[in-house]
Structure 1
Amino acid sequence: MAGAAQITQGALQAIFNGEDVRQPILQCVQIKAMEKREGQPERYRVVFSDIRNFIQSMLATQANHVVIDGKLKKGSFVKLNQFHPNTVKNKKVLIILDLDVLTHLGESEKIGEPTALESLKEEEDVKQPASIQSNNFYGVKPEPEQPRPQQHAPSRTNGASSNSSHANLYPIEALSPYAHTWTIKARCTHKSDIKTWHKNNGEGKLFSVNLLDGSGEIRATGFNDQVDMLYEVFQEGGVYYISSPCQVKLAKKQFSTLNNDYELGFMAGTQVEKAEDDGDAPQIRFNFTSIEDLKTVEKDTTIDVIGVLREVGEVAQIIGSKSSKPYDKRELTIVDNTGYSVRLTIWGSSAKSFDAPAESVIAFKGVKVSDFGGRSLSLLASGSMTVDPDIDDAHKLKGWYDAQGKQDNFQSHAGMAGSSGTGSKRSYKTIAQVKDEGLGTTEETAYYDLKASVVFLRQENLYYPACASEKCNKKATQTEVDRWRCEACNLSFPKPDYRFMLSANVGDHTGNMWLTCFDEVGRTVIGMTAEQFHELQENDSRASVNVVAEATCKTYIFNCRAKLETFGDQQRPRYTVSNIRPLNFTVECAKLTDILKQYTLDSDSLFVR
């Protein structure tokens, strides 16, 4: 068989003896999905054979696609491009970073009678290499492990040390609590501010960095003395050698957005040295979710997103109910070429120092999805944002916005969470059908789409002062000249977050009805934020009246919810708009064409002229 002749016999033993084995060809004899951890990607354990021996292997997450796509199967022949030999609890494990499935060789039953590699020699007789074996990984030719140089204090210089060798590099993907002697070369993609804590048993400070290489990402944290020694060494965008001793421990997912089960803890002897930036470490790794696709993302999921900056809010400050500490925040509105917009909140120093101009393209890494009032985003403390990044996604988005997006109207996900609860498909209704079918007059909540024009807007209470907390939106009350309070959240803040609550009379060819429109919908109807409208009304009341007048006589598609609610002692239907979009004339013409076709009769029926 052609496949059997291609297999690199004896390759596994040679790899774990420290020999330089290039692109060995092996056979896959078993694939098994590991138990999935919540919030983590699938991991796969694969057994490879070189006819003489077999070994347990672990696919790095970036190699999962060969299993997910169905290319790697039991009996397949593969070529290993990048791999790392490791020992876990005295068992040899091969970590696979990159491989090719040789589909032209087909598949076969297990060839030969290979034996487990561990049974050949006692552990102390086998030389355990610590190098990455690859044709071109970090541009360094693999070598057997050499005696490590004497440990020294972390470097506080900006140049790489010339006294230590970094030929034997670990990939971040291979780090585990069982790896004791290692060096990684990684780019610092994010550095946090220095934070302090105060407890009954003492106080301290800490900072963290996100580190990235070609295999993956990991978070590293330094406390107290390590803050003093390393904080100024790390600079965002810089490339560094980090060497053990350094603690590798299970990641605390509440503090990290990275896809790694482990994180690093800097120790007194941890070596950190500036490295040459020769392009082998990636700049940053994104996995973008489009703004339209937010409707399919579960609440509290952490994602990456990229968009064009459409609106920039002012810095506001809220007081934490538990800590009683002030928190600065700023709301941004971003859009993308899916035709959707979303509100994204940034916090702390990022909010205060934010100065990106409107229409900039911004890539956000590590934002949390909220479902209050639809979909909104919040940049986590461990997240980062990059203005006008030099990546293909940003260039395409900028080109689209300059050519078309400036003139587009955008939909939002306002009210989406509530509207998706039925799981049923919406249908178009006329106003007469809504009333005739009694939608909203029973205990069952109804959802429908309505094409109608804005006839009149009730100008009393167009908007209200809301709580500045991201997940509240309850009405705030003014307690002092420059102080507002939300009783629901028990928070005080110097300025409320003004939000629309429109009462709109809309009409179509069958009648009129009143709709309630909240903030996201109100922005589309009025054409500005409630904050902007408030300032306009305060400074020029006549101009604000004109803005309301100009908002009428425009036609939209309203996504509506009809629900029976109690007002005082009476029950009556309430019609609420969860989303709004302008007419798409191509779609509307197609619908009218379908209606006309319904009046075309076949040849056996009466033809109506």
Structure 2
Amino acid sequence: MMVGMCNRGIRAVSSPGQGRTLQNQLSAQSHPAAASTASPHNQPGAASSSTRVPAGRGDSGKKTPIVVPIACLIPYQTKWTIRARVTKKNNISPWSNPKGEGKLFNFEIVDESGEISVTAFNKEVDKFFPLLETGKVYYISEGKVKETNKKYITSKNNYEIILRNVTSIVPCEDDQNLPMVECDFRPIAQLEHMEKDDIIDVIGVCRSVDDLSRFTARTGREAYKRDIDLMDTSGKAVAVTLWGEQAEMFDGSVQPIVAVKRARLSDFGGQSVSAIFSSAVMVNPDIPEAHWLRRWYDQEGHALDCQSLTELRPAGGGANTCWKTLSDIKTEQLGQGDKLCSHSVALW
């Protein structure tokens, strides 16, 4: 088995007689001029060992490709293979622009070195969407690596992969040493010191769940939302808003551990958190942080009188809001005199 390091001039650790760097190996497989001008990857220190795909030689007698870490992928190189776990798979959605229209779906993958977003368009949607399952591991080869558009992709990686007609995706039975998901969880107590619209990862015990509420979206279609209350060992709690199918399917009856990756921080009602299109909502995920939080809550956390960063929000207001019905305002002749007064009215 050949073992190598990422393409930052680090020498490959190899068997006797094999002293090439992984950078040379990759450059030999891609356009030499493009590779020489490509900038280093955006994840310093994320180098990881590379291995051969355990498939032996193909019918043509050619050697199987070297598996490289996600952190080593850079634009202009297409002759590569990565081994990664699917952590999130979005539904198929339409796209359109002045050049045409079609369909797409994207998914996110992770290996020991980092994560990256992958997008398929049109024919590649039909080819790969039925194959991929969240949580499964795959060998992915020969996609197009490009700089990501942060307007649509909130991944920490500055690059994304676009599947091509020559792309190959093959299931991998060996999922050892691959993380289930890569998260950078922030203690809930830290959220009050962060900025509005910051993208965060948060995990906590679901203490309570609001009823499912229905509303009309800007598109005119009927949609659903649900607020849940998460607490952690920092002694603080925060309201998290789930949308659509995530809100409809959520079951908080047994106080599960809930992790939300790439949620948006809001200042609505104090501090609150909202899932967005690119968020991954995981219930009782099989990760060390969730197991540890479960033990803590069962042993002592359930008795903790924690403080919420989110105010009570009846129909969108705070706990100290003075609520009046329209009939109350008319009966009490509020606003008829010289003294200015203001009240909050909830409409259904």
Q: Which interval holds the TM-score relative to the shorter structure? A: 0.7 to 0.9
Offset, 1:391: 2.7
Contact 2:52 2:64 in 1 (8 A): no
Partner of 1:349: helix, strand, or coil? helix
Amino acid aligned to 1:205: K
Alpha-carbon distance between aligned partners in 1 of 2:198 and 2:336, rounded to the nearest angstrom: 37
**Aligned in 2, Cα 1:465/1:306: closer, same or farther, shift over 3 Å?**
closer
Residue 197 (structure 2) aligns with: 300
Aligned residue pairs total: 313
Deviation at residue 316 of structure 1 after TM alignment? 2.0
Report the counterpart of residue 20 of structure 1 in structure 2: 18
Structure 1 residue 404 and structure 2 residue 300: aligned? yes
Partner of residue 89 from structure 2, selected from 182, 191, 209: 191
TM-score, normalisation: structure 1:
0.45
Deviation of residue 233 (structure 1)?
0.7
Mapped pair 1:259 → 2:205: no
Give how far 1:182 is off.
0.9
Change (3 A) 1:198 1:393: same
C-alpha displacement at 1:13, in angstroms? 11
Partner of 1:9: none
Displacement of 1:200 in angstroms is: 7.2
Question: Equivalent residue for 2:330?
Answer: none
Change (3 A) 1:90 1:391: closer
CA–CA separation in structure 2 for the residues paired with 1:394 and 1:14: 37
Q: C-alpha deviations, 1:469-493, integer Å up to 9, x for none?
A: xxxx37xxxxxxxxxxxxxxxxxxx
State the Cα distance separating 1:139 from its structure 2 match: 5.3
Q: Secondary structure at the match of 1:90?
A: helix
Q: What whole-Å deviation, never above 9, does each CA across 1:478-527 have from its counterpart, x for those lacking one? A: xxxxxxxxxxxxxxxxxxxxx74466xxxxxxxxxxxxxx9xxxxxxxxx
- In the aligned structure 2, how far is the partner of 1:298 from the partner of 1:212? 27
State which of 333, 343, 347 in structure 1 corresponds to 2:239: 343
2:269 and 2:313 in contact (8 A); partners too: no
Given that residues 208 and 252 in structure 2 are in contact (C-alpha distance below 8 angstroms), is that contact kept between their aligned partners in structure 1? no
Gap change, CA 1:148 and 1:396, over 3 Å in 2: same
Q: Could you say which residue in structure 1 is the equivalent of 2:215?
A: 318
- The root-mean-square deviation of aligned C-alpha atoms, in Å, is 3.9
Deviation at 1:369, TM superposition (A): 0.6
Looking at structure 1, the residues matched to 304 and 277 of structure 2 have their Cα atoms a distance apart, in angstroms, of 32
Change in 2 beyond 3 A, CA 1:408/1:261:
same
**Residues 166 and 183, structure 1, Cα contact 8 Å, conserved in 2:** no
User: Do structure 1's residue 382 and structure 2's residue 328 form an aligned pair?
Assistant: no
- Does structure 2 retain, via aligned residues, the 8 Å contact 1:218–1:264? yes
Structure whose alpha-carbon radius of gyration is higher: 1
Contact 2:214 2:222 in 1 (8 A): yes
Q: 1:91 to 1:265 in 2, by over 3 A?
A: closer
Within 5 Å, which residues of 2 pair with 1:27-426? 84-85=23-24, 89-90=35-36, 137=49, 140=52, 166-197=64-95, 202-244=100-142, 246-321=143-218, 323-414=219-310
Tell me by how many angstroms 1:211 deviates: 0.9
Is the contact between residue 74 and residue 146 of structure 2 (CA under 8 Å) also seen in structure 1? yes
Q: 1:465, CA displacement in angstroms?
A: 6.5
SS at match of 1:381: coil
Q: CA deviation at 1:285?
A: 1.1
Query: What amino acid is aligned across from residue 173 of structure 1 in structure 2?
Result: A
Q: Distance in 2 between matches of 1:207 and 1:97?
A: 29
Kindly provide the CA deviation profile for residues 188-218 of structure 1, in whole angstroms up to 9, marking residues without a partner as x.
0000111124667654221111011111111
Given residue 181 of structure 2, which amino acid in structure 1 is its aligned partner?
A: I
Query: What is the rounded CA distance, in whole Å, between the counterparts of 1:270 and 1:296 in structure 2?
Result: 44
On the 8 A contact 1:97/1:215 being kept in 2, the answer is no
Q: Which has the higher contact order (CA 8 A, sep 6+)?
A: 2
| Residue identity opposite 2:153 in structure 1 | S
Q: Residue 465 and residue 405 in structure 1: after superposition, are their counterparts in 2 closer, same or farther (change >3 A)? A: closer
Q: Percent identity?
A: 33
Instruction: Classify the secondary structure of the residue corresponding to 2:278.
Output: strand
Over residues 58-109 of structure 1, what are the superposed CA-to-partner deviations in whole Å (9 max), with x where a residue is unaligned?
Answer: xxxxxxxxxxxxxxxxxxxxxxxx975565553598879759xxxxxxxxxx
Q: Partner of 1:380: helix, strand, or coil?
A: coil
The CA distance in 1 between the partners of 2:182 and 2:131, in whole Å, is: 22
Work out the CA distance in 1 between the residues paired with 2:285 and 2:153.
22
Structure 2, unmatched stretches of 5+, are 1-8, 28-33, 324-334, 343-348
Question: SS of the residue aligned with 1:382?
Answer: coil
Distance 1:282 1:165, change over 3 A: farther
Q: What is the CA–CA distance in structure 2 between the aligned matches of 1:276 and 1:225, rounded to whole Å?
A: 26
Question: Residue 248 of structure 1 aligns to which amino acid in structure 2?
Answer: V
TM-score when normalising by structure 2: 0.76
